[in-house]
């Protein structure tokens, strides 16, 4: 057998081949939450089943609360977090929609809840397959949103999520594509408990910030017009501020884990220095785009990829740094704001709206809805179409 | 071995099609290669046609697209040859492994690189059930040489650990038989 060309540093830890869901469950186990609550829904199921098994086998000491619905699961982690516990939940699709009311409350109460969204399409018609329609319903809730391209990114983003959540007092959702990542086997390194501890100290909320009979406190109280607006402005400002914190903590995490990632945790640009076209995308689609570009000699020198790893807060400044006024932009996304355009497209257009002398196009390609496969062939067609002056929004696939 | 080996497996719900793809990826990883496996679920129902995919390479695999041009095609349930287009995307170089004693299909007459493995027969004899997914991997290892028999056995030990020693032993014996045949 010919040996693997990818060499790993000794201190990175053991590389294993695991299902994406299993990898995330093992990471959560090493993060040691106090309370987990979830309601099973495809394709999130394997994650929470694994965590329930770990508890049943005596390998973990968190409280695992089975809920009667996603609304209850989200409410349980809200309550536990308000009482000062480190918490975890996961869901998908209709489950997230049922959680929506609580999701907004969690963010409004500034609770450091961490959740996984195993992204799936929403009804009707019913689809169990992947797209990003679910999370786009709550993108404006005040949750920080990470998107993973592969299992390793999903694992790392969960660790980063707890650090950011607990430091900034904001909830974080890690998005990983249903089936495409949750049900895929691929090599991954699970950071050991010792490394996790080095990066993420045990959670000790400050006195007076959680429910405590000795220090009575109200969460989510009634705010009349004289006060409500400031709470929203503060939440917004803190989200914007967290961009710098994410960069800082991401760099620290990569160093602690012994990895050699070159990106800043917000975005990652891969491609030539002066590309004619840049493709922008969220999640696992980035892997297929990268393979399409790098396996073609012509595309390799003319097309770049901008991965959005942190979607909320939106890293507009990082995007302006990468995309020049003469570069065509194609935003590929697995969601649409029906009757308008793709949400990521709107964000990119807004980010580039102040760009002087923008002469090149920004176009929007809706792909992969309801699990439609996004092939290299489709991506190549999009690359050919993107510099052409025609409709700015198209459905491909 | 090609730069990128793309293995597409066809079978029916309940036959362990997804597990077979996962075992290939695990075994290849144990052999020191990069590997990926993922399912393509249709309607989750016993008996429904299902595909699963595995990729093997010396370089990191990033693509997530389904496999349209397989370098290896595994047909776990030969009745699928009678309907549908499970041969889509194959070339003269594609190695085709079929759970059957011999060729009885006109559409395969002019095909090259055919390999017939009596997996059902071996499964009934060695495992006592018509579960062919592991058995046919013995034929896969022998014919394609993409994974070693030792790594395949180790993959079964890892994957079936929770099913008990007896199941592991039976599956390994069945794989050995298919490999030697």
Q: What is the pLDDT of residues B56-69, one digit of tens each?
A: 999 999 999 999 99
Q: Is the four-CA dihedral A137, A52, A129, B29 of positive or negative sign? A: positive
Same domain for A349 and A252: no
Report the gap between the CA of B12 and the closest CA in chain A (Å): 18
CA distance, residue B123 to nearest chain A CA (Å)? 26
pLDDT in tens, A147-201: 999 999 999 999 999 999 999 999 999 999 999 999 999 999 999 999 999 999 9
Buried b (16+ CB within 10 A) or exposed e, A217-236: eeeeeeeeeeeeeeeeeebe
A238 and A275 together in one domain: no
Q: Is there a domain that residue A8 lies in?
A: no
Contact list, A270 vs chain B (CB under 8 Å): none
pLDDT of residue A1: 46
Q: What is the pLDDT of residue A125?
A: 97
Tell me which chain A residues have a C-beta less than 8 angstroms from the C-beta of B41: 128-129, 179
Q: Are strands B72-75 and B95-99 parallel, antiparallel or unpaired?
A: parallel
Spatial CA neighbour of B75 closest among B94, B55, B56: B94
Statement to judge: residues A245 and A313 lie in one domain: no
Please state the rounded mean pLDDT for residues A264-293: 98
**CATH number of the domain that A285 lies in?**
3.40.50.920
Two structure tokens written together for A112: 């450091």
Q: What is the mean pLDDT of chain B?
A: 93
Cα gap B15→A137, rounded to integer Å: 38
**How would you label A3-38 residue by residue, b for 16+ Cβ within 10 Å and e otherwise?**
ebeeeeeeeebeebbbbbbbbbbbbbbbbbbbbbbb
Distance from CA of B74 to the nearest CA of A (A): 19
CB-nearest partner of B37 from A185, A374, A375: A185
Q: State the pLDDT at residue A10.
A: 45
Which of B37, B39, B63 has its CB closest to that of A291?
B63
Position A13 confidence tier, pLDDT thresholds 50, 70, 90: confident
- Nearest chain B residue to A18 by CA distance is B26
Contact residues, chain B, for A183 at CB < 8 Å: 18, 38-39
Report if residue A5 sits inside a domain. Answer: no
Last residue of a domain, one of A224, A257, A290: A257
A288:B64 CB<8 A: yes
Does A7 have pLDDT greater than 70? no
Instruction: State the residue range of the domain holding B148.
Output: 4-180
C-beta atoms of B41 and A179 within 8 A? yes
Q: For residue range B94-145, what is the model confidence (pLDDT) as tens digits? A: 999 999 999 999 999 989 899 999 999 999 998 888 889 999 999 999 999 9
Confidence band, pLDDT 50/70/90 cuts, at residue A6: low
Nearest to A50 by CA among A74, A83, A20: A20
Beta strands in B76-169 (DSSP E): 95-99, 114-117
Report whether pLDDT(A2) > 70.
Answer: no
Indicate whether A79 and A170 sit together in one domain.
yes
In-domain check, residue A174: yes
Query: Which residues 5-24 of A are in CB contact (within 8 Å) with B?
Result: 5-6, 17, 19
- Considering its fold, how many domains does chain B have in total? 1
Whether residues A152 and A287 fall in one domain: no
Q: Which residues contact A118 (CB under 8 A, 6 or more apart)?
A: A21, A43, A44, A47, A90, A91, A92, A176, A177, A178, A181, A182
SS3 for B76? coil
Assess whether pLDDT exceeds 90 at residue A248: yes
Question: Do A346 and A199 share a structural domain?
Answer: no
Q: Determine, yes or no, domain membership for A6.
A: no
A204 and A315 in a single domain? The answer is no
Distance from CA of A270 to the nearest CA of B (A): 13
Put simply, whether A1 touches B (Cβ < 8 Å) is yes
pTM of the full structure? 0.96
In a domain, residue A262? The reply is no
- Please name the member of B31, B36, B59 whose beta carbon is closest to the beta carbon of A184: B36
Give contacts of A259 with chain B, Cβ < 8 Å: none
pLDDT tens figures, A221-242: 999 999 999 999 999 999 999 9
Among residues A257, A285, A308, the one where a domain terminates is A257
- Total domain count, chain A: 2
Strands (E), A211-302: 267-270, 277-281
What is the extent of the structural domain holding A344? 267-396
Question: How far is Cα A111 from Cα A35, in angstroms, rounded to an integer?
Answer: 14
Task: For residues A210 and A280, state if they share a domain.
Answer: no
Residues A29 and A178 in one domain: yes
CB A300 within 8 A of CB A293: yes
Boundary-marking domain end, from A257, A291, A320: A257
Instruction: Report pLDDT digits (tens) over B131-161.
Output: 899 999 999 999 999 999 999 999 999 999 9
* CATH number of the CATH domain containing A24: 3.40.50.970
| Average pLDDT value for chain A | 96
> Two tokens at A277?
């076209």
CA-based angle A36:A211:A114, to the nearest 5?
A: 30
Q: What is the CATH number of the domain that holds B77?
A: 3.40.920.10
Q: Which long-range contacts (CB under 8 A, 24 or more apart) does B94-98 make?
A: B94/B70, B95/B71, B95/B143, B95/B144, B96/B72, B97/B72, B97/B73, B97/B136, B97/B139, B97/B140, B97/B143, B97/B144
């Amino acid at each position: 057998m010919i040996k693997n060309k990818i060499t790993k540093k000794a201190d990175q830890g053991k590389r294993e081949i695991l299902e994406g869901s299993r990898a995330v469950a093992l990471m959560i186990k090493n993060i040691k939450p106090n309370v987990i609550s979830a309601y099973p829904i495809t394709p999130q199921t394997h994650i929470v089943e694994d965590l329930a098994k770990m508890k049943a086998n005596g390998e973990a000491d968190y409280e695992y609360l089975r809920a009667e619905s996603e609304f209850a699961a989200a409410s349980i982690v809200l309550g536990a977090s308000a009482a000062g516990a480190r918490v975890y939940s996961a869901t998908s699709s209709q489950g997230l929609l049922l959680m929506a009311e609580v999701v907004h409350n969690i963010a409004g109460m500034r609770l450091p809840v961490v959740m996984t969204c195993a992204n799936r399409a929403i009804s009707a018609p019913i689809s169990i397959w992947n797209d990003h329609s679910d999370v786009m319903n709550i993108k404006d809730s005040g949750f920080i949103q990470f998107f993973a391209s592969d299992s390793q990114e999903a694992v790392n983003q969960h660790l980063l999520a707890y650090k950011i959540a607990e430091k900034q007092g904001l909830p974080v959702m890690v998005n990983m594509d249903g089936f495409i990542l949750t049900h895929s086997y691929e090599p991954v390194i699970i950071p050991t408990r010792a490394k996790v501890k080095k990066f993420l100290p045990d959670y000790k909320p400050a006195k007076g910030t959680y429910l405590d009979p000795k220090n009575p406190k109200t969460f989510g109280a009634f705010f009349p017009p004289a006060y409500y607006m400031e709470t929203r402005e503060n939440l917004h400002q803190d989200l914007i501020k967290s961009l710098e914190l994410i960069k800082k903590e991401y760099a620290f995490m990569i160093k602690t884990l012994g990895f050699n990632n070159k990106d800043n945790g917000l975005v990652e640009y891969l491609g030539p220095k002066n590309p004619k076209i840049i493709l922008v995308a969220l999640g696992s689609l980035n892997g297929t785009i990268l393979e399409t570009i790098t396996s073609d000699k012509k595309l390799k020198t003319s097309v770049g990829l901008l991965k959005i790893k942190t979607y909320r807060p939106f890293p507009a400044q990082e995007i302006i740094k990468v995309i020049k006024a003469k570069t065509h932009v194609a935003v590929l996304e697995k969601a649409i704001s029906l009757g308008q355009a793709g949400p990521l497209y709107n964000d990119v257009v807004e980010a580039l709206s102040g760009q002087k002398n923008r002469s090149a196009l920004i176009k929007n390609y809706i792909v992969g809805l309801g699990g439609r496969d996004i092939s290299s062939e489709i991506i190549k067609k999009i690359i050919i179409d993107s510099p052409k002056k025609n409709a700015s929004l198209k459905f491909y696939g | 071995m090609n730069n990128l080996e793309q293995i597409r497996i066809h079978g029916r719900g309940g036959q362990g099609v997804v597990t077979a793809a996962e075992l290939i990826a695990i075994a290849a990883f144990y052999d020191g290669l990069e590997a990926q496996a993922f399912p393509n679920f249709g309607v989750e129902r016993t008996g429904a046609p299902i595909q699963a995919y595995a990729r093997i390479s010396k370089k990191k695999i990033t693509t997530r697209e389904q496999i349209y041009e397989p370098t290896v095609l595994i047909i776990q349930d030969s009745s699928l040859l009678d309907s549908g287009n499970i041969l889509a995307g194959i070339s003269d170089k594609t190695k085709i492994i079929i759970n059957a004693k011999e060729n009885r299909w006109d559409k395969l007459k002019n095909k090259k690189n055919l390999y017939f493995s009596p997996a059902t027969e071996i499964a009934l004899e060695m495992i006592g059930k018509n579960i062919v997914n592991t058995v046919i991997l013995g034929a896969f290892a022998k014919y394609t040489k993409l994974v070693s028999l030792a790594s395949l056995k180790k993959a079964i030990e890892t994957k079936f650990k929770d099913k008990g020693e007896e199941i592991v032993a039976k599956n390994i014996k069945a794989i050995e038989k298919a490999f030697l045949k």
